[in-house]
């Protein structure tokens, strides 16, 4: 079997520290999270080229290292988590150049939120506090999964 050759299509500059998470919720949007405390959105300028300018979607007080996409049919939100122990949900306003305040903030973890996923209108988070949580979009905790001896890295 011959390995397929890939060609780099773009280099996107903007973060001031290492990128910890990437998601691509659509073919024309890329979302990145970094230890520089920001979540950035990137859009395609046309079918083959990315716009070199990014939008800072959200800025935290501490580094951000996990992302997922929330889509329940009525809401499409970027979900981010990091070293402040919070899970923040922000709108995708790719045209704006200003920071978005979170639409929702999920409070309950006591340490870094290192993994996120979303399915069927729910958000699942994993943390260095050795728990995983299942949430509704508005912050209601449905389940706290305890018993892990270490961080929950995958959800």
Return d(Cα 117, Cα 155) in angstroms, integer: 6
Class of 19-145 per CATH?
A: mainly beta
Nearest Cα to Cα of residue 97 among 48, 46, 12, 38: 38
Token pair recorded at residue 120: 């069927």
pLDDT band at 146 (very low <50, low <70, confident <90, very high): confident
Percent of the chain with pLDDT over 90: 69
User: Domain residue spans in the chain?
Assistant: 19-145
**pLDDT score, position 155:** 63
């Amino acid at each position: 079997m011959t390995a397929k050759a890939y060609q780099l299509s773009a280099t996107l500059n903007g973060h001031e520290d290492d990128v910890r998470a990437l998601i691509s919720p659509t073919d024309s949007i890329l979302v990145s999270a970094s230890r520089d405390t920001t979540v950035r959105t990137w859009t395609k300028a046309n079918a083959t080229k990315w716009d070199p300018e990014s939008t800072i979607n959200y800025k935290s007080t501490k580094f951000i290292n996990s992302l997922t996409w929330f889509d329940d049919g009525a809401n499409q939100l970027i979900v981010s988590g990091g070293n402040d122990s919070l899970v923040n949900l922000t709108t995708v306003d790719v045209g704006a150049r200003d920071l978005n305040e979170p639409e929702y903030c999920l409070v309950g973890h006591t340490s870094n939120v290192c993994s996120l996923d979303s399915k069927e209108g729910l958000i699942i988070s994993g943390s260095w506090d050795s728990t995983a949580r299942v949430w509704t979009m508005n912050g209601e905790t449905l389940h706290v999964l305890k018993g892990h001896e270490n961080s929950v890295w995958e959800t």
